[in-house]
Amino acid sequence: QQPVQSPQAVILREGEDAVINCSSSKALYSVHWYRQKHGEAPVFLMILLKGGEQKGHEKISASFNEKKQQSSLYLTASQLSYSGTYFCGTDMNRDDKIIFGKGTRLHILP
């Protein structure tokens, strides 16, 4: 039931774009995206709910394909501060039991 994230790791140069994908084998109610820097707490980026509602930062965009149980996080014009590990978490039953993927490590080079 753990969502699968891809790619596992990516290296970009500042200003380049990145897409991080999250897929589940089960029907989802919501997808949650977090970024975690080494030694720090995960920081909320975006929540996407079944039915199209989204809540999150203005500079972060994401999509949720309910039919395919897939979500993608879009990072455009990446900045050095975007470096970290990105986790997607999924909730299948609207019961706040969020299951996180293994993460995608993003490294931005100057």
Provide the binding-site residues for another protein, judged by CB under 8 A. 2, 29-30, 32, 34, 40-44, 47, 49, 55, 87, 89, 91, 94-103
Closest CB to another protein among residues 15, 65:
65
State which residue, 2 or 17, has the beta carbon closest to another protein: 2
User: Smallest gap, in angstroms, from Cβ of residue 92 to another protein?
Assistant: 11
Q: What is the spatial distance between Cα 80 and Cα 15, in angstroms, rounded to a whole number?
A: 9
The distance of closest approach from Cβ of residue 48 to another protein in the complex, given in angstroms and rounded to an integer, is 10
Rounded to an integer, what distance in angstroms lies between the CA atom of residue 91 and that of residue 101? 12
Q: How far is CA 6 from the centre of its chain?
A: 10
CB of 51 or CB of 110, closer to another protein: 51
First to last CA, the chain: 37
What counts of helices (H) and strands (E) characterise the chain?
0, 11
Closest distance of CB 77 from another protein, Å: 25
Q: Which residue has the tokens 């993608």?
A: 72
